[in-house]
Each structure stands twice: as structure tokens, then as C-alpha cells.
Amino acid sequence: GPLSERPLMEVRLGELHSWISTRSFSAQGLLGAVQRAWGSYCAKYIHVKQGGRAGISMLLAGYCLLSYGWNYQHLKRHRWRKYH
């Protein structure tokens, strides 16, 4: 099909620049991309017949990494140092 209708995982490396230029970077386009990503994540890991703890644990690990990234400057200033 056309390049603009292909998902990211089906785009070849040489076509990546052209594919990115067809994307919409407006607020509505970005919101739609986030909704599609969340829907595919839920379909693959959360809403399955015999699901395990993988989906929830990946979500929790992502939150921990994101929270650490947000608080890194604060943590870096307040950590105890052996030598001043």
C-alpha cells in the first residue's frame, strides 16, 4: 500500500524520512498516535484470554523509569556524597 498508510514497523530504513514527512504533527495528529499506541498495547498485553503479568509489569517499569527521569536533577542535588 501507500507509504503513508504503513505502520512504523513495516517501513524500511531508507523510506523512514519520507514516512515521517507524511505524518501529522498537529495536536490532533499526536493525540491520535497516542490513542493508537495505547490501543495496540492494550490489545497485545492487557486484553488477552490468558494474559500474564507482563503487560502490567511493563507499564509499572515504564512509570518508574519516567518518574526517575523527571526527578533526576532533584535526586542528583540531594544525594549524599562521601567527599564534599
Q: How far is it, in rounded angstroms, from Cα 46 to Cα 54?
A: 9
| Whether pLDDT at 9 is above 70 | yes
Tens digit of pLDDT for each residue in 33-62? 899 889 988 888 777 777 678 778 888 999
The answer to whether 6 and 19 are in contact (CB under 8 A) is: yes
**Taking the domains of the chain in order of start, what are their residue ranges?**
1-47, 51-83
Query: What mean pLDDT value characterizes the chain?
Result: 83
Prediction pTM value:
0.53
Q: How far is it, in rounded angstroms, from Cα 47 to Cα 19?
A: 30
User: DSSP label at 71?
Assistant: T
